[in-house]
A and B are shown apart, each in its own frame.
Chain A
Amino acid sequence: MLRLARKRWRIRAFRKRRELRGIVDRTNLIAPDHILLFSTLRNERIRLPYFLRYYRNLGVNHFVIVDNDSDDGSREYLQAQPDVSLWTTKHSYKRARFGVDWLNYLQNKYAHGHWALIVDPDEFFVYPFCDTRPLRALTDWLDASSIKSFSAMLLDMYPKGPFDAAPYAEDQDPFEVASYFDSGNYIIHRNKKFGNLWIQGGPRLRMFFQDLPERAPALNKIPLVKWDRDYAYVSSTHMLLPRGLNQVYDEWGGEKASGCLLHAKFLDTFAHKAEEEMERRQHYANSHEYRAYRAGISTQPDLWCKWSEKYINWRQLEILGLMSKGNWA
């Protein structure tokens, strides 16, 4: 059954390729051992310089990006970058299953046999020893351990005070502004069908979904995969097929290695974004999430509480139990 589902997603992705228009194709620069980053975005111009810098520093070799009809100069900026291959589309983000179809197609075409990191422009990958070891150290270790997928839970970061109190400047580290997170407020269910964990929680759960926790957004993500053209993401980067790739957690008491995706969503840019997304109605579950935010934001926009933890580094996240070194030492 799941095999058929996987085929269907792949065929769907293949058909969705027609919606993509190439802007600049530098994929000939991709060497066999390169680490690739895939992303889809819309109007994220102000975030792009730091985003690219962050991942270049980690050791990403090439960026493959789908621009969903930006009109703020994102496309032009990306086009000029020497390590970016860029596609654009005016088609519906929602009907491409929130961009998954587009990226599945490009991953199947370019990422086969590569380590691929699939992140949004507001997600920043943190993994054990990321301050001393480049991304390649991690992927080499994963290769040596015969591990094909790596989990990194989404960690919502937020500022102290209203979102617009400290504006975000271009090329700034967003976590200088949004430096707080919830340390122990995460709920885990197991998804029997796909074998993945379903994690909800953080400030979004406690602020916007107090009465409807089952509608709170999923935080489990598997963004780093040794890609094979037989693979497909099912919903965002929350789960994959074949389902063995979702087995990023140990069931017998041990801890597998894992990281976090620091989520720089709650900056001063957020209110504007929520407004825009509500009009476009292009987000998950009829934009229920954005509707809840908008309702929340108009009354009390402060996610901070006295138990909020200020971000220091990956070791802190490890000690708090949000991520794990596993047996990597």
Chain B
Amino acid sequence: MSVGIVMLCHTAFDRAAQVARHWAVRGCPVVIHVDRRVKRKAYDGLVKALNDLDNIRFSGRHACEWGTWGIVAATQEASTIMLRDFPQVRHVYLASGSCLPLRPVEEMVAYLTDRPRTDFIESVTTEDVGWTIGGLDVERFTLRFPFSWRKKRRLFDGYVRLQRRLGFRRRIPAGIVPHLGSQWWCLTRQTLSAILENPERDEIDRYFRRVWIPDESYFQTLVRQVSANVESRSLTLSKFDFQGKPHIFYDDHLQLLRRSDCFVARKIWPHAGRLYKTFLSGDPGGQAAAEPNPGKIDRLFAKAVERRTKGRPGLYMQSRHPNENWENGRTAAPYSVFEGFADLFDNFEIWLGKATGTRVHGHLFAADRIEFAGGEKIYNGAVCDSAAIRDYNPTSFLTNLIWNTRGERQCFQFGPDDSQVLTNFIAGDPNAQISVISGAWAIPLFHSNSNFGEIRKEAARLQKIEAEYLNELRKPWVKARVRTWTLAEFVENPMEPLQTIVDEISPRAMRRLTEAPRLADLTGFGQFLQNLRNQGMQPVLMGDFPTGDDPRPSTSRRGRPYLVK
């Protein structure tokens, strides 16, 4: 018993000849079909290169345009020759000119001899396939496709749309249950001859002639009528990318292919000399009984498709520049924005860095320069602290920072005195954790040594900006995790909100905060606010600070660490 190879070729004939010879000299007869559109000279060259082998045949030539009947016609004719001329053949293996056997031929023959009645053909009902391109699955069988997909794409698409709108449907002949699957199969003589010698073949062929991509459905459908033992998988390792074109194997895939234990792979780059040399050398293989296991290669290609369709979240670069809301993650990683904390607490940045183990920056969006952590002039990724460069493209600045520091959470201070242009971007970013103590900007003013007239003006300005900012944070499209407190609320009980924030930043740590950051001195702050009011400015964002009655925490907790059990 032996295996016969039907080989469909349309290019790279030197490689096809090499592979055909490999099969033939190892006792597997080969029938070669060459696309009719190939030039005479190339065809003759192939015939000549193989004319010393008596178990190679060439079949009549059909034009094989992708997606059309020609490929099926070619397969039928070549298979017929195979069954007629080589009676010892039990299994027929359909391969292409760019297929390469990965395991010794004897192993494949042994494998098939052990399974004499099994048909290896991927055959899936149209409801169950998820891989069809362009949304055509069952419609492949019910619409008409008179226009070339390659050359007249617009007519093709337009005609499909028209038929859908008119509700046109072809009748599927009785007894045919559409199945789809990989074009590359391996069928037994019994099954294949039953399909080819079917008395109703003319009628069936007439129907399939007008089906879209019949090479993925003709045998896949008919095998269900005649075979009792369909193993629905292809023995050929062949992977398709998101456009439906096959992935190509190169020299650097050698180890992967070796370990896949697959019998045949497609498609091989014709110049992959090392692959051809290695796999056609005929050295003894590994474990003779190993089942094909393409898992690793599957993963590699699945990853490649994901890279192409989803990309890396938060990355903006020369070949990935998503439109708004198509970013699949505006930024690369979670980060935290603190407004008012550095005003309310002394050395808040140092405390936060210690409590959470993250990188804590100052005001990254300060007007004059970027306040990187530790006062660095240049930061991760060689971003420099120039405010002019940042303001030239603030989005790039932030996305770069978060991308460059992947793996280390970034925190930074923000306030009404900073550039506000990025508010929308950050508020719409699910990676952002925004915590605001509203009105805390008044504390530095309170401590400042300016004339009260100037303080009043500045307070009015900052309040206006912060009010707008808070307003943005309340919009329905906001995706950031936002928490706001008024200054009065926060001072009343600072530990609980701090604990919540810290837990969210480093959830696994679950440490109780043992050391509170030190509150700024607020003695007389209520009076300060009252003075502003008296001058005609209405401070509202800090909440309800009673005049004269200084907040308790500022007096009772000053000067010693605060312990929470």
Contacts and interface: CB of A to CB of B under 8 A. Distances in A.
A53 interface: no
Interface stretch (B277-285, B286-294, B384-392): B384-392
A324 B319 contact: yes
Most buried by B among A199, A258, A329: A329
Interface string A167-209: 0000000000000001111111110000001010011011001
A214 B310 CA distance: 31
B252 A249 contact: no
A257 B241 CA distance: 14
Contacts of A185: 381-384, 400
A328 B239 CA distance: 12
Contacts of A257: 319
Interface string A290-329: 0000000000000001111100000000000111111111
A249 B318 contact: yes
Interface string B235-279: 000000111010110111000000000000000010100000000
Nearest to B322: A253
Nearest to A154: B318
Nearest to A258: B319
Contacts of A132: 250-252
B321 A197 contact: yes
Contact of B328 (A129, A253, A327, A328): A253
Contacts of B307: 254-255, 324-327
A248 interface: yes
A140 B389 CA distance: 40
A306 B378 contact: yes
B503 interface: no
B18 interface: no
A144 interface: yes
A250 B321 contact: yes
B111 interface: no
B396 A187 contact: yes
B381 A254 contact: no
Interface residues of B, number: 51
Contacts of A236: none
Contacts of A211: 386, 388
Given A184-B400, A184-B404, A252 B389 contact: no
A136 B250 CA distance: 12
B326 A137 contact: no
B403 A197 contact: no
Contacts of A151: 318-319
Contact of A305 (B303, B322, B378, B393): B378
Contacts of B388: 210-213
B317 interface: yes
Contacts of A203: 382
Contact of B317 (A202, A209, A321): A321
B209 interface: no
A161 to B, nearest CB: 16
A183 B318 contact: no
A136 B272 CA distance: 11
A137 B269 contact: yes
Contacts of B156: none
Interface string B477-492: 0000000000000000
B404 to A, nearest CB: 4
A329 B386 contact: no
A134 interface: yes
A256 B271 CA distance: 24
A329 B328 CA distance: 22
A220 interface: yes
B322 to A, nearest CB: 5
Nearest to A222: B318
Contacts of A197: 318, 321
A253 B252 contact: no
A109 interface: no
A306 B377 CA distance: 11
Contact of B383 (A137, A184, A252): A184
A220 B383 contact: no
A210 B251 contact: no
A253 B404 contact: no
A329 B320 CA distance: 17
B301 interface: yes
B379 interface: yes
A254 B304 contact: no
B319 A251 contact: no
B510 interface: no
Interface string B379-422: 11111101011001100110010011000000000000000000
Contacts of B317: 153, 186, 188, 249, 255, 258, 321-324
B511 interface: no
B269 A140 contact: yes
B366 to A, nearest CB: 16
A256 B250 contact: no
Interface in B300-323: 300-301, 303-305, 307-312, 315-323
Contact of A144 (B245, B303, B316, B328): B245
A145 interface: yes
A190 B322 CA distance: 11
Interface in A236-260: 248-258
A253 B325 CA distance: 9
Contact of A210 (B241, B384, B393): B384
A308 B393 contact: no
B322 A205 contact: no
B327 interface: yes
Contacts of A26: none
A141 to B, nearest CB: 6
A325 B396 CA distance: 22
A129 B252 contact: yes
Contacts of B386: 206, 210-211, 213
Given A133-B250, A137-B269, A307-B378, A321 B312 contact: yes
A253 B251 contact: no
Given A183-B382, A250-B322, 6 more contacts: A129-B250, A184-B400, A185-B381, A249-B318, A253-B328, A324-B319
A-B CB proximity, top 3 nearest: A184-B381, A327-B308, A329-B304
17 contacts: A137-B269, A140-B271, A151-B318, A183-B381, A184-B383, A186-B400, A210-B386, A213-B392, A248-B319, A249-B318, A252-B323, A253-B327, A255-B307, A255-B312, A307-B378, A309-B382, A321-B315
Interface of B: 241-243, 245, 247-248, 250-252, 269, 271, 300-301, 303-305, 307-312, 315-323, 326-328, 378-384, 386, 388-389, 392-393, 396-397, 400, 403-404
Interface of A: 129, 132-134, 136-137, 140-141, 144-145, 151-153, 182-190, 197, 199, 202-203, 205-206, 209-214, 220, 248-258, 305-309, 321-329
